[in-house]
Chain A
Amino acid sequence: MVQGTEAIFLGALRAGGNFFAGYPISPSTEILVLAAEHASRNPDFKFIQSEDELAAGNAIIGASLAGAKSFTATSGPGFTLMQEAIGYGHEVEVPTVLVNMQRVGPATGMPTMPAQQDVLQTHYGTSGDYYPLVFCPNSVAECYRYAVITFNAAEESLSPAILLSDGFVGHLNEVVDLDAIEVEVVARSRPPLGTGTRFFTGLAHDEKGNPRTADAVIYKQWLSMVKARHEKVAARYRHFECQGNDSSDTLLISYGIVSRVIAPLAGQFAMFRPIRIFPMLGDELREYAQEYERVVVVEANDGQYASLVEREVKRDVVRVPLLGGRINLELARKGLSENLGKEVS
């Protein structure tokens, strides 16, 4: 039996993670405790219990620059404080991993009832334009596998990458043989601090790192280079699940824990589950959505992903929000029945 949080931590170790900084916050605290215990037994694994999430978010950047594969784990309010570090990591092009175990918000919200209310925050939470790679597991096995993949995506995109889970998946206990999960590990590419004369700056800069804060041409070249790199990396991870249904006119889209909870509805609907939730799987969504008259997004927030799906498929999408930390099949059935105008059993 392995718990989701433990699988994430073990996945991080499998990926070569050797630095953790964090601040205790439920429901992610188990990962911090595991990191502390691991560091106490393994001197090569470094650990800081930071004074706050601002420090933790920036510490993983410093550790990465110094040569470590670094990560942190937090929940909604802490993730909000880490937004500045996420933006900084994108500007400076620093690979690192942030694990967000979502809970009901805004603010302190309902600690620690599970939610999916940080979906938009993962993509639109910091200033400027950036193109984060975000993965959303729905099982303990996937927690492990996608922890490794998030590290790989961070290395390949040279940016902070995000494993977006929730308190429900994080506290799932499932029987799984983690050693049997085959994953590749991408190595560090950038030489650590203390080997060159580089300048890593959060200011807009040229290819040498020298600040260029009033040159639109250089800025646009930089942004398009970064965007192209993220698109290239994203193309390697077109991860999703799909189950067609010839007898249904409706496609249900869900991700993370909600996709597990509503899995029994597969006989009545076609199902689509994005695992790489950002960048959006636009082509795939359009391809599958065109087969069905109606597209429905069931999610544990008030239609955050639905609004983005709508933009991709270019038509109205039905929203079925599961709010207040109560994520169960009965509520999903009720919400679907109300929104689709027919009884869903």
Chain B
Amino acid sequence: MFKDLLKMELFPTSWCPGCGIGQVMIQLATVMDEMGLGHTNSTIISGVGCTGRMAGYFNVDGVYTLHGRALPVAEAAKLVNPDLKVIVVSGDGDLTSIGGNHLLHAARRNPDLTVLCNSNQVYGLTGGQAGPTTPRDTRTVSTPGGAPYDPVNLQNLMKAGGRYFYARTTVFHQVHFRNCIKEAIAWPGFAFVDIMCHCIENNGRRLGFKSAYEMLQHFRQTYKRATDGAETLEPFEIGIVRKG
């Protein structure tokens, strides 16, 4: 049971009601359970932020690193113990902004890590500031006139090297989401799963969504599956691109 992988005694979690991170946690636990991953063969390493707290809810050794530093910690742990399944969970702000240099170079060195990136397109824990993934013109507390820049293109960033695994999915498309996690864990290299997730309290309401449900419906209506074998995911397509 996936519940065996979670420290249920610590529930309720620190996340806001309606937050999508719980979905990420449950899907990861479900996949780990299916794949036989647990405290004897796995570790979960996170950065700082709302998503970062996830490592503490799993019944495996977890590491809550400093802001942006999950990848250097994870890469070193994997190098020291190649038999250990090392899963990184963190937010898009943590991984792409303060940890951006590490993301660039970890992807280039291609260690066998699974990275689950919770892309809610905002700094949720600090109250809703813009980050590198915030779409242009989005109003946040740090971009009251709308975000002035184009967001980072994570797919292109991941594909910059010769070998890559980039998956885009959403917390609404649960079967697809689970498959992405599963394939990422099985991938023998640096696998990056870009998970579109909602932050209702510190982003959604400001954007005009009335509830987490509305944000999920938005994912349902906006994101479509890419055609099989696509080498590039178009905007608002979910799927996996990879090259070994």
In the complex, which residues 27-67 of chain A have their Cβ closer than 8 Å to any Cβ of chain B? 46, 48, 50-52, 54-56, 58-63, 65-67
Docked complex: B6-62 residues within 8 A CB-CB of A: 7, 10, 14, 39-43, 45, 48, 53, 55-56, 58-62
Q: How far is the CA of A61 from the CA of B66 in the complex (A)?
A: 11
For the residues of A in contact with B, the DSSP-based class is mixed
Residue on B nearest A70 in the bound complex, by CB: B76
A345 sits at the interface (CB 8 A): no
Closest chain A CB from B164 CB (angstroms): 18
A61 pairs with B61, CB closer than 8 A: no
Cross-interface CB contact of B81 among A48, A56, A67, cutoff 8 Å: A67
B176 at the interface (CB under 8 A from A): no
Q: Known interface pairs A54-B69, A55-B72, A199-B62. Does A194 touch B80 (Cβ–Cβ under 8 Å)?
A: no
Q: Which of B42, B45, B79 contacts A46 (CB 8 A)?
A: B79
Which of B10, B62, B72, B75 is packed against the most chain A CB atoms within 10 Å?
B72
A198–B42 Cα distance when bound, in Å, is 12
Contact A48 B76 (CB under 8 A): yes
Chain A 184-204, CB within 8 Å of chain B: the 1/0 string? Answer: 000000001111111111110
Q: Mark A5-36, 1 if CB is under 8 A from B, else 0.
A: 00000000000000101000000000000000
Is B76 a contact of A60 with CB atoms below 8 Å? yes
Residue of A nearest to B69 (CB): A58
Cβ of B105 within 8 Å of any chain A Cβ, yes or no, is yes
Which residues 61-93 of B have a CB within 8 angstroms of A? 61-66, 68-69, 71-81, 83-84
B173 within 8 A of A: no
Q: Is B226 an interface residue (CB 8 A)?
A: no
Nearest B residue (CB) for A60: B76
Q: A193-B77, A193-B84 are in contact. Are A58 and B59 (CB under 8 A)?
A: no
Complex CA distance for A199 and B56, rounded to whole angstroms:
6
- Residues of B close to A193: CB separation below 8 A: 43, 61, 63, 77, 81, 84
Q: Is the CB–CB distance between A88 and B84 below 8 Å?
A: no
Complex CA–CA separation, A172 to B66 (angstroms): 37
Instruction: Supply 16 further A-B pairs (C-beta < 8 A) apart from A21-B76, A196-B61, A201-B64.
Output: A19-B79, A19-B80, A52-B101, A55-B105, A60-B76, A61-B65, A62-B63, A66-B43, A66-B80, A67-B80, A193-B61, A194-B39, A194-B43, A194-B61, A199-B64, A200-B62
Closest 10 interchain pairs by CB? A62-B73, A62-B76, A201-B64, A66-B77, A66-B80, A59-B76, A51-B105, A55-B72, A63-B76, A58-B69
25 contacts between A and B (CB under 8 A): A19-B79, A46-B76, A48-B79, A50-B72, A51-B102, A51-B104, A55-B71, A56-B72, A61-B65, A62-B65, A62-B76, A65-B73, A66-B43, A66-B81, A68-B80, A92-B63, A192-B80, A193-B43, A194-B41, A194-B81, A195-B40, A199-B56, A199-B64, A200-B64, A209-B56
